[in-house]
Amino acid sequence: MPSFFFRRKFCSRRRGRCPSVFKRKQKAKVQIDHLPQELVEMVVSFLPMKDAARTSVLSSKWRQGWASYPRLTLNSETMLGITGKVDYASEEEQNKYKMKFIENVHAVMRQHQGFGVDEFLLEFGLSDRDAHHIDNWVSLAASMRMKRLVIDLSGLSLECKIVPEKYALPLQLLDDIGTIKHLRNLQLSNLSLKPLGDFGGFVNLTMLELQLVDVTEGDLESLLCKCPALERLALNTCGPFMSLRIGHQLSRLEHLCLGDGTLVEKLKIEAMNLRTISHSYNVGEIVVRKDSQISEVTADMNIPPRTQAGNGYKDTLQYMFTGLPSALPCVRKVSLNIWEGIQTLEVPKCASSFTHLRHLTLSMYLRLQWKFDILRLVHLLQAAPFLEHFELNIDELLLPLYDEDLIPSIPRWPHDHLKTALFQGFVGNHDLIALAIYILNNAESLKLMNIQTKTEGHRLVAEELLRVEDLRRVLNIL
């Protein structure tokens, strides 16, 4: 009998005696209910809110894990499962959505009562008629010792609907020792603030953002004085305010933003450590401390001349010399969005007006029928002798191509510290070509000039007229 037969028989006997050697090991079954409570809560915290809520049906441990979920986002997507814009629905459908939303929010708040949360976001189109529901939710949220509170009652789209009867938020609902101590970030949108009364303030609040919020000058100033730890303040579409004061009590305030629609006739800034300010053309006179530390200014002055909005700057480029930057001894970075195309007096020739300015960005809207005087920008560059970065973004309508006219000759002026010059939306217009040549010839330390042209025709014009001036090979034309 063949030997291999005995080997097979012998092996089969061994397998019979030692079956565990040859059988696959079975993996140990993991019971999710046996996981430690801390691990369950950590797992739930990493899930999206809708998925975290679904885990509550698994067991009491997972139900408690959901109850301690750290970020409550109550909007149409999480409460209704709708990702579209509820505002576009019919009035009957909107009422149904609102009733269902309110019902679901009440259920979620009951499940989380007694537990702390880090973030509480309420984002749905509600009004003063729903005040008793909102008051209840805010009161419960205040007891959760949250760090971030967002109340946005404008729905999913600010553009499609503005609620006429705004909900009036009594800040006294947040006057809880836990809330006052823990709240760091407060964002309110499309509501009004009731008179503060004896409201104690937010001692540890570092960021406050108000958008479409109705509040009086006195109440706003009083609120700000009661937020001594504030570092960032943003006011978007608020006001109008005849006079607004950012008081010295805000000694930690570093960033101030006054967005479009925030109307301020006179702004007085006393905060000693403010570093950056951003504002639109709706802000009139700005008064700052003589020892102001503001080093960065962003101004959106992009308003057509026919709609002058009370800021007094008929020439938006003139803002550099008559507006806020001229009053700031330490300004290092300025970004201007301007409408340039009106015939005005020449920009003043100021010797070394901005000795600290290092970074200048101009975004300009140009029109065919208005003359673009390049010397205006040259004088601005000459007023900043230590400028290191210059950026020009051009938005033009039918600005003519290079038309064989003589390129303007600009007297030489040293720009020894300028290292980079960027042109976005460059067109082959002789004025812009003259500016680029001026920089190439006068910036001895220039390391890069990047020109992003709008069309192939503009690129060819730039290649033909600028390459011959690029003696240091720093030009990049796209």
Domain boundary among 68, 83, 112: 68
Classify residue 374: in a domain, yes or no: yes
Residue 320 makes CB contacts below 8 A (sequence gap 6+) with: 326, 334, 336, 347, 380, 383
* Helical residues (DSSP H) of 18-151, grouped into ranges: 19-22, 37-45, 49-54, 60-67, 76-80, 91-112, 131-142
Classify residue 301: in a domain, yes or no: no
pLDDT at 68 over 90: no
What pLDDT is recorded for position 228?
Answer: 94
Q: Bigger pLDDT: 51 or 319?
A: 319
Domain boundary among 68, 89, 121: 68
Neighbours of 160 (CB within 10 A): 13
- The two structure tokens encoding residue 78: 């999480």
Classify residue 234: in a domain, yes or no: no
Classify residue 192: in a domain, yes or no: no
Quickly tell me which residue has 């109307």 as its tokens: 263
CA dist list (Å): 131 to 125, 157, 297, 419:
12, 21, 39, 57
Classify residue 164: in a domain, yes or no: no
CA dist list (Å): 432 to 305, 337, 476:
23, 18, 16
What pLDDT is recorded for position 191?
Answer: 94
Q: H or E element: which one contains 363? A: strand 359-367
d(CA 32, CA 385): 68
Q: Bigger pLDDT: 219 or 16?
A: 219
What tens digit of pLDDT does each residue of 388-406 get?
Answer: 999 999 886 555 555 556 6
What tens digit of pLDDT does each residue of 302-314 get?
Answer: 765 444 444 444 4
Residue 47, domain extent: 33-68
**Strand locations in 204-351, DSSP E?**
207-214, 232-236, 241-246, 255-258, 264-269, 276-280, 283-288, 296-301, 333-339
Mean pLDDT of the region 281-305: 83
Domain boundary among 24, 51, 68: 68
Mean pLDDT of the region 351-369: 79
| pTM score of the predicted model | 0.81
Classify residue 469: in a domain, yes or no: yes
d(CA 92, CA 115): 36
Classify residue 95: in a domain, yes or no: no
Q: How confident is the model at residue 133 (pLDDT cuts 50, 70, 90)?
A: very high
Q: How confident is the model at residue 343 (pLDDT cuts 50, 70, 90)?
A: very low
Total tally of structural domains belonging to the chain: 2
- The two structure tokens encoding residue 343: 């015939």
Q: Bigger pLDDT: 447 or 52?
A: 447
What pLDDT is recorded for position 160?
Answer: 45
- The two structure tokens encoding residue 339: 């409408």
d(CA 386, CA 356): 7
Classify residue 349: in a domain, yes or no: yes
d(CA 475, CA 240): 47
- The two structure tokens encoding residue 244: 């607004």
Mean pLDDT of the region 210-215: 94
